[in-house]
Amino acid sequence: MNRVYLRPLQMQDATQIHAATEDEEIRYYTSTTERFTVEAIEQFIIRSSSDRSRMDFAICDTTTDAMLGEVSLLDVDERNKRGAMRIMLHSLHDADKGYGTEAMLHFIRYVFEDVQLNRLELEVLAYNPRAKHVYEKVGFMMEGIAREATYYNGRFVDEIHMSMLKRDYERLYG
């Protein structure tokens, strides 16, 4: 489990993030509708670095230091010790190679051991079974389906709601 590592997003990541958000397949799997400029992404990196309710990381190859994607902790609620997450590989060429799974394992360890959250949640669109499989493989449990909750490409799509609790993490990885 040493093929990838996580590091905070940096300004030089903006160009690659921009390219990923322009890739039509990536846009489909992340249901991205908005277009972003490199400058807007740079401003986002600056703003998010001082936002206590979120943490954004680059997923990097340990051999080459190449950025493979991003993973983010969102909507951190310190009082209730909960947060949400999103993850995105920047190329489908890197899918099905275990990078996303390994990044998820590093990330959930960080969330439960370092940030000390009790609950981590996410939503995955019903047309993305590959992502749902990865989430289940690392220990997320399905909590329910928000029927037709997202409108994308001219149709409504179900959102699958999943979560992992600290006790789930400890049982699996403790």
Between the alpha carbon of residue 64 and those of residues 3, 96, 131, 152, the distances in Å are: 10, 19, 25, 35
127-167: per-residue pLDDT in tens? Answer: 999 999 999 999 999 999 999 999 988 999 999 999 999 99
Q: Which residue has the higher pLDDT, 35 or 170?
A: 170
For residue 29, which of 77, 69, 75, 84 has the smallest C-alpha distance? 69
82-127: per-residue pLDDT in tens? Answer: 999 999 999 777 777 899 999 999 999 999 999 999 999 999 999 9
Q: Is the pLDDT of residue 1 over 80?
A: no
For residue 57, which of 67, 71, 47 has the smallest C-alpha distance? 71
- Per the prediction, the chain carries an average pLDDT of 93
Q: For position 34, what pLDDT does the model report?
A: 82
**For the domain that residue 134 is a member of, what is the CATH number?**
3.40.630.30
How is residue 7 written in tokens? 């590091």
Q: For position 79, what pLDDT does the model report?
A: 97
Q: What is the pTM of this model?
A: 0.91
Q: For position 35, what pLDDT does the model report?
A: 85
Q: Which residue has the higher pLDDT, 38 or 144?
A: 144
Q: For position 50, what pLDDT does the model report?
A: 86
40-95: per-residue pLDDT in tens? Answer: 899 989 998 889 899 999 999 999 999 999 999 999 999 999 999 999 999 777 77
- DSSP H or E segment with residue 70: strand 67-77
Query: Which domain does 67 fall in, by range?
Result: 4-173
Q: For position 140, what pLDDT does the model report?
A: 99
Strand order in the sheet with 55-61: 4-8, 55-61, 67-77, 82-89, 119-125, 155-165, 141-152
Cβ atoms 72, 55 nearer than 8 A: yes
- Residues in a beta bridge with 4: 61
Number of domains the chain contains: 1
How is residue 124 written in tokens? 């995955």
